[in-house]
Amino acid sequence: MLNLLYRAAGVLRRRALRGDHGRLGEDLAHRFLRRQGCVVVARNYRTPSGEGEIDLVAWQKETLVFIEVKTRSSTEFGTPDRAVDGEKREHIRRAARDYARRAGVEWERTRFDIVSVLLEKKPRIEWLPNAWR
């Protein structure tokens, strides 16, 4: 019964966010990661200085994971993960250092992942652990 409610809520959310691919992709990635055993502790974390943003922050066992979610409606211009270039990684790294420092987590216990979301008839989600260091 509860599963049916979650599915219905997902359908309604997709309709409401039809034009907002990024937000829809983050919602799908969030649920996907929870099903994989991750505990999501933050969404859209921004540093106070505004230097960077992290889409999702999650614990996977003893590792604090900083996750960039990239969403596309097709692969016409390449896979979503290809959009995470060096400049974007640096902004995420700055925000991650700030988050880890504030949370009191040693830098060695962190990693960077990418979740690619393709919004096809049935959304396709690919998780790329340790996408960069």
Q: What confidence tens digit (pLDDT) does each residue in 22-44 have?
A: 889 999 999 999 999 999 999 99
Write down the architecture of domain 21-132 according to CATH. 3-Layer(aba) Sandwich (3.40)
pTM, full prediction: 0.82
Within the chain, which residues score under 70 in pLDDT? 1-20
Structure tokens at 99: 């988050």
Looking at residue 5, its pLDDT comes to 62
Looking at residue 49, its pLDDT comes to 85
Give the other-Cβ count within 10 Å of 1's Cβ.
4
Looking at residue 17, its pLDDT comes to 44
Phi-psi region of 20 (alpha: psi -120 to 50; beta: other; left: phi over 0): beta
